[in-house]
Structure 1
Amino acid sequence: MFCDEKYLEICSEKTLQIDKEGFFLQFAKTVAENVGEKWVKNVFGKLKTDSERIRVIYENDEIKDYTIGFLSNVQEIYRKKSPEIASNRFSQAETSEKSGDTKKALNLYNQTILKSPESDPTLALALVRRANLLVTLNEFSYALTDTQLALKLKVPSNVKFDVFSTMAMCNKALKDETKAQISQNLAEKMTNDPNLVDKLRHNMAVEYEPIKREVKVIPPIGERHTHFSHASSKITVKKSPDLGRYVVSNADIKTGEILVAEPAAVACLNPDKFGTHCQHCFARLLAPVGCPHCSSVAFCSPKCRDDAILTYHKYECKFFDLLLGSGMSVLSLMALRIITQQNLTQTLGIYDRKDTNALYNLCTNETKRQNCDFLQRSLMAAFLLRCLQKSGYFGGNDTVVPTQTEYKVGEMLLHYLQILQFNAHEIYETLYDEKHSLKSAKMVNIGVAVYPTVALFNHECYPSVTRYFIGKTIVIVSIRPLTGNLSISENYGPIFTRIKLPQRQRTLSGRYWFNCQCQACLEDWPLLSNESNYVKRLKCPNCSFLFPVFPEIEKCPKCQTNISFRELTDKLDWCKNQFQTGIDLVKTERRDEAIPVLCQALDTFHRVSAPPHGETHRAQEALRICLADQGNSFDCLV
């Protein structure tokens, strides 16, 4: 089935370990070499269930010593708080602030706060200083949060006037006059200096203009599906031996319709984004707050911090650097996160009812998986399970060989490691220059998540939908019209307009284990750069038969119905003009106006013609860019 077995092996290993410097894959390969190919094939390879696979690596005489020996060395490795580093950053921040370098000062105060233990007085002082700095930037909401956090710590008496003064100005700027007056009164009680009181009263008389940020809103779906609560009622899920489960339309769908808006069942931020995005909600960081114990992660707010610490982070916290040091992929971390985001009782509840759990029942391709791949994933599941044991997820037990309860969780980890290989979605953010120009737009991957409904959409190299993200929520939008009972397809990466057929097939067979049989592949559509090879066609209004554009045609070659050639070509020309109008609106930053123009033209085009068609694909790309702009974005490129 697969065109390149070695490439398949490399792709599969990358879904377990992404960093070549990590230690996990080397351990797994050493184990495989020591037990030998014969054992892997004749003993491990004969096992039929994940439960048997996870047990055998702890209990079989040929392998258990390697497994238990490795897992016995698992210990806490994480970035601890550092009063020395915090104090140093605080001094640097003060120097930068005095020199007028506000951006650098804010960054250094942020580092101070993330590195300071809660018992260190530097933390409270840094929060107060950062609040003052944020006020000068008109970031009153963030500044108010800092003052509230500072007051929960031991703020020196000589700083309390500063805290309540800042709090008073923030409440006033945020239009809470009652709290503003209370904070002002408290501030005035903290000082005997009339000059400070006069300055505060002067500041309270100023009209402030808080920074206003666009709030991205998850779009409405319309009538919701009775079974898939985050999807439109216009979709249906079918199943076949060849395609598995897949999504089809059960009604006419126009271009631009919202078909799914689904929150992530589980999500993990990419490690290279730990310093720029919230670990919990993936929002951009401006004034981050940290974990009380480690300095590995950052959160955009106390709420996100508390939500994370109450669930997954309390188990991951002190093993974070060990996990990252193993080189494991974000997919492996996600397998752990599926477990840690719920308590043990909830996890066992899923195990007991796994046949009805949407996430647990996603595709694993178990029957196609090779023995060595299963062994690597079993060992990764054991490593993750050991971290759970050491973190206290199961209570006080700390023995390497799992209990019966722990075996169940190990089985779940192994199952999730298979699911995530084929069902995860990368979460994107669009970066712009300071003018938010679409010409500068650059899509950047910030994290990975699983969406049980969206995971049911099959792939086509000419997809019928596009996706964008609001936080961790995925939004699926149609980019061409569909009639009832047609497959609704996503694109897993290789798209025909940019990637040639052999490369698409190699990527899809190696990464997702299937040979694509979509129309673009079967007919080997040329790249958009070779659009001169596209044949413009017209569609019979009666039977939908496609025929080349020839002026002398008066009847459909198939059904012999009379055809108004001029009417069809006029509509095709109108589509071409509308495409250009929409693209021009996009180029002049009038995106909201461009969307309906492009949607209407795409609907009309598919009534009178069919792809491949250069102007149509450029219009779809323009529409995709406009829709992505409604999701995660950041103006940072200069």
Structure 2
Amino acid sequence: MQLATILVNEKYIISKMNVSHMDKNDLSLFQKYCEKTIGKLTEDCIEKFRATKDEESRIKLLYDKAVLIPINVMPNNGKNSEVAQQEKVKGNSYFAKKDYTNALKAYNKGIIKCPQDTVPARELLSILISNRSATYFELKEYKRVFNDIDYLLEVGNYPSHLQYKIWLRKAKCYDAMQNERLSSEAYNEAVNSLKHSKLDEKTIESKLKEIENARMNTTASPAKQELIPVLNPEIFVGGKEYIAAHPKIIFEQDNYQGRFATAVEDIEAGAIIVEENAHCAVVDSTHILSNCQFCSVSVDQPVACSSCGNVVFCCTNCERLANKTFHKIECSIQESVFASGASINCSLALRIISQRPFSYFIDKKNKFKDYLKDNCKKNTIKKKIYRFDDYDNLGKYFPFETNDGILTDDELFIGSLILRHLQLLQFNAHEISELKNSPKPIVHRGFQTNYENTMIGAALYPTLALFNHSCDPSIVRYNIKNKIVVRTIKPVKAGDTIYENYGPLYMAMSAEKRKEILKTNYWFECLCIPCVELWPMFDEMNEYELRIPCQKDRCPYVFVVRADDEPFMTCEYCHSVTTMFPHLKGLMCLEVVDCFLKRLKYVADVLDCALNSDCKPVPIVNIKSVCGLGKCVLNNTNLNSEFYIEKLHNEETNKSKLIIPIDVHEDLSCEKDDDCKDMANSLCDITKGACGCIEETHYFYNGNCVPGLNRCDIAEDCPTNAMCFKNTCVCQKGFFMRERNCIAELGMQDPNVEYKNDNDCPIKPGKLSNSSCYCKNYWFNDDANRNCIKNICLRDNECNINERCLNEKCECAENFSRNEDNICLPNIGASCGIASCAHIGNSSCVTGTCNCDKNYVGKYNRCLKIADHLHDSCEEEVQCQRIEHTACGTTDGGESLACICVEGYMAINNTCYQSK
């Protein structure tokens, strides 16, 4: 039965009773039902409503009126097998024409629409997924092929006579990724699957030859190169009290501002000050088929909900997590809620409830009682009446049958929570946004971009909600999936309040308009500095005027200075003298920064890249150039942070190909070549105003232009363990060039270097053995013995026995541990059907599980003797379990561990008695 929760507002009711001219066609479905509810209210009912003090009283008062109004909504789960079949045919047609873009669109739509409640429907779905994986294979998107094959296997019901195609496709993907072992296994599976096909013997023989030829001659195109980040990702560490906020931030409270954030120490610009996962997040109605319903990430390879066609997920894991929590409640009402015109805050209020089990709130019912009372000093001004009805389905949330005619205490409590959440979300929710491609180029203030920031949903971030607003904010925020990241956009001094922004910015909107929006939507009068001092918008600023405040404290006067004004000015308000010189000095610094930023933009415009293939090698220094963060950079640890590669042409000197340091210092500035004479082998690039090294022969290193990595005139120009051969530095056998040094290959000794411990090994993570460096455990030499690489994987079947693929690395399965030989063996309690328990002393395999022998107790991969008497030796607490009131510890002055009485107890005759 249905649950009807009425969310009402006294001011809205009164105003609606007196206003009849509103166009009914402008009302949403929810609002129309509200109108009907309002029409049934008497003046006496309105006065009683006005006197209510808590949410439950409001719902009780209006429930009987609202429940009489029928809601005629026909639920639609969005699934349609006919549409799915049509999209399959359409996708196959596009695929045959090699129109892979439209083929993917058709298959995606078919996957979303395809029902999963019958065997034929799941078979159709598996074929759609298989066809999509074939499309990705043609596009050389091999990782996506694997994703779809995993998805297909999870759905099941793929026709057995077609399975050989899947294995053959998988084998070719592994070929492209140069994984011979897994490609061979997949080819074997393809051969085995042919026996289930419906092909005749002649065709099967032909297919076997095809598979054998593919195995012998790898024809798949190499996998696409992925972006290589230049900078390591920042690791955010929060404070002790507010783990999502920077340790240098505290939250204070006063009667004027309420709660607000303050810096206790200086915080530099660009610092991450908040990194917080959403307490609750939803995707809005316009993006439910383009963004994952669980994590909010943009989706172009959708995984469908098994029960509805109204949402999508980015992976099967997100689909499982959603259907274990909120989506099992919302699935059947999702389309109805969106069709009703309910705001995104309504969806958030519902999600806060649906994401947790009914028992969670009932167990905390008494704690929430005070929370549901009115405690705001001013009367709450709610705008609308919401009838949040589940259309006969939200009743599934309750572990008992619901009846519209009876409003139970538990229903009333949950309804009160939803109403309370609606009031809070209006002021505390934040949008979730992402950068999307814009249909047309966007030009703003002379800059053109093909991207736009788009709101795709909303979320509740409890820590971020504590920050107050300013029209000149201290921060900028952005989303990674539905996690929020907040960075400072200006230096923050100790003691400063840190402000965020609720939308209106002083540079883009007038003060009058900003105040109106903030008053209407957030119920406060903005008194930030730009509003109080009436700062002009950007469009109102005159670039030929300079505004300088009077230097005397508390004086409000502002000088409007023009180019021909005197540098010393007398204030008309307080008669003190203010000088322009400090302000002019600051402007000079800004000009230097502006010049520097223009140089950076020039480099960015010249060298934008998307893949490593977009970047050409640097011939002189003989280092590969890769694409990192959209820029071509030197593929070398030291040079990554210091250089961007440029190819410039200097018309005045007719010199070209300079490598310019990105961090230009004053002593490197120049106007002509003579200005660079103090730095040998350098020229002046007038377009940059900086000295740079001649790319043909030298590169910038430690403030000087030194010969290129492979160029030399004499042996002294080369590093240790290298020789000069035909003007080129060549490392001796067993060494290789890295950072202008010849490094010993793994397993080779360097006679000129004494390694004392593992940290001395130049190849990381290294392990020192017999004066030579090797890779540490679980790391492996690459083919050239020059790097230690991880045991990388994409899925479980790429790992060894008893291992699972976690974060692209083969790790021991749950309850298994890795031994010194790098083999995962079972711990106590793990299955021993495949692996023996012999490695664990005093244990045996009993009923398929590793168990300790009698009088022994398990701790991970050890069986420890259970102590029988007080003061028996022990290693772990669990060994003392037979003796009451004991723990494993040391006696006074003792060094070895034994079972001793815990604090408050004393030993008497091998027993622990409570001390008096």
Aligned: 1:22 with 2:28: yes
In structure 2, how many angstroms separate the alpha carbons of the residues matched to 1:31 and 1:114? 37
User: Between the two proteins, what is the percent identity of the paired residues?
Assistant: 24
1:287 corresponds to which of 277, 301, 321: 301
In structure 2, how many angstroms separate the alpha carbons of the residues matched to 1:565 and 1:342? 61
Match of 1:615 in 2: none
In structure 2, how many angstroms separate the alpha carbons of the residues matched to 1:211 and 1:50? 57
1:126/1:218 CA distance change after superposition, 3 Å:
farther
In structure 2, how many angstroms separate the alpha carbons of the residues matched to 1:244 and 1:291? 43
Secondary structure of 2:331's counterpart equals helix
Match of 2:330 in 1: 316
In structure 2, how many angstroms separate the alpha carbons of the residues matched to 1:547 and 1:539? 6
Moved more, 450-459 or 188-197: 188-197
In structure 2, how many angstroms separate the alpha carbons of the residues matched to 1:456 and 1:162? 56
Aligned: 1:67 with 2:66: yes
1:536 corresponds to which of 547, 570, 582: 547
Match of 1:114 in 2: 112
2:512 corresponds to which of 482, 502, 505: 502
Partner AA of 2:136 in structure 1: L
8 Å CA contact 2:73, 2:391 repeated in 1: no
Moved more, 133-142 or 211-220: 211-220
More strand by share: 2
TM superposition score normalised by structure 2: 0.56
Give 1:206 deviation, angstroms: 3.9
Aligned: 1:577 with 2:592: yes
Match of 1:44 in 2: 49
Q: What pairs with 1:609-620 in structure 2 (closer than 5 Å)?
A: none
Moved more, 131-140 or 503-512: 131-140
Aligned: 1:424 with 2:425: no
Secondary structure of 2:455's counterpart equals strand
- 1:182-231 deviations in Å (ceiling 9; x for gaps): 22211122233333313532574645214636899996465522221111
1:352/1:257 CA distance change after superposition, 3 Å:
farther
8 Å CA contact 1:248, 1:488 repeated in 2: yes
In structure 2, how many angstroms separate the alpha carbons of the residues matched to 1:67 and 1:561? 69
In structure 1, how many angstroms separate the alpha carbons of the residues matched to 2:52 and 2:413? 17
8 Å CA contact 2:276, 2:485 repeated in 1: yes
8 Å CA contact 2:474, 2:490 repeated in 1: yes
In structure 2, how many angstroms separate the alpha carbons of the residues matched to 1:143 and 1:21? 46
Partner AA of 1:485 in structure 2: G
Give 1:498 deviation, angstroms: 0.9
8 Å CA contact 1:147, 1:166 repeated in 2: no
Aligned residues: 565
- 1:259-315 deviations in Å (ceiling 9; x for gaps): 101111111111111222222222222221101111111111111111111111111
1:505/1:361 CA distance change after superposition, 3 Å:
farther
Match of 1:462 in 2: 472
8 Å CA contact 1:78, 1:320 repeated in 2: no
Moved more, 330-339 or 271-280: 271-280
Secondary structure of 1:577's counterpart equals helix
1:565/1:89 CA distance change after superposition, 3 Å:
closer
Secondary structure of 1:342's counterpart equals coil
Match of 2:75 in 1: 77
Give 1:384 deviation, angstroms: 5.3
In structure 2, how many angstroms separate the alpha carbons of the residues matched to 1:174 and 1:38? 76
8 Å CA contact 2:53, 2:373 repeated in 1: no
Secondary structure of 2:188's counterpart equals helix
8 Å CA contact 1:433, 1:441 repeated in 2: yes
Secondary structure of 2:222's counterpart equals coil
2:126 corresponds to which of 124, 127, 132: 124
Q: What pairs with 1:200-279 in structure 2 (closer than 5 Å)?
A: 200-201=214-215, 204=218, 206=220, 208-210=222-224, 212=226, 220=234, 224-279=238-293
1:481 corresponds to which of 486, 491, 516: 491
In structure 1, how many angstroms separate the alpha carbons of the residues matched to 2:574 and 2:235? 39
Aligned: 1:519 with 2:529: yes
Give 1:181 deviation, angstroms: 2.8
In structure 1, how many angstroms separate the alpha carbons of the residues matched to 2:569 and 2:373? 51
In structure 2, how many angstroms separate the alpha carbons of the residues matched to 1:441 and 1:362? 45
Partner AA of 2:542 in structure 1: S
Match of 1:376 in 2: 385
8 Å CA contact 2:430, 2:460 repeated in 1: yes
In structure 1, how many angstroms separate the alpha carbons of the residues matched to 2:331 and 2:228? 33
Match of 2:37 in 1: 31
Partner AA of 2:165 in structure 1: D
In structure 1, how many angstroms separate the alpha carbons of the residues matched to 2:375 and 2:465? 12
Moved more, 236-245 or 126-135: 236-245
In structure 2, how many angstroms separate the alpha carbons of the residues matched to 1:218 and 1:491? 29
- 1:439-463 deviations in Å (ceiling 9; x for gaps): 3332211111111111111111111
8 Å CA contact 2:168, 2:211 repeated in 1: no
Give 1:349 deviation, angstroms: 4.3
- 1:65-84 deviations in Å (ceiling 9; x for gaps): x32224x6477713342211
In structure 2, how many angstroms separate the alpha carbons of the residues matched to 1:440 and 1:584? 22
Match of 1:141 in 2: 143
- 1:397-428 deviations in Å (ceiling 9; x for gaps): 12123322222211110110101111111122
Give 1:345 deviation, angstroms: 2.0
Give 1:180 deviation, angstroms: 3.1
Q: What pairs with 1:590-609 in structure 2 (closer than 5 Å)?
A: none
Match of 2:730 in 1: none
Unaligned runs of 5+ residues in structure 2 are 1-10, 17-24, 195-203, 609-628, 632-640, 643-916
Give 1:149 deviation, angstroms: 2.7
Computing the radius of gyration from Cα coordinates, the structure with the larger value is 2
In structure 2, how many angstroms separate the alpha carbons of the residues matched to 1:55 and 1:362? 14
More helix by share: 1
Please give the root-mean-square deviation of Cα atoms over the aligned residues, in Å: 3.9
Give 1:250 deviation, angstroms: 1.6
Q: Considering Cα pairs closer than 8 Å and 6+ residues apart, tell me whether 1 or 2 has the greater RCO.
A: 1
Give 1:556 deviation, angstroms: 11
Give 1:586 deviation, angstroms: 4.5
2:409 corresponds to which of 404, 407, 416: 404
Unaligned runs of 5+ residues in structure 1 are 11-18, 59-63, 597-638
8 Å CA contact 1:351, 1:412 repeated in 2: no
Secondary structure of 1:367's counterpart equals coil
In structure 2, how many angstroms separate the alpha carbons of the residues matched to 1:31 and 1:352? 31
Give 1:585 deviation, angstroms: 3.0
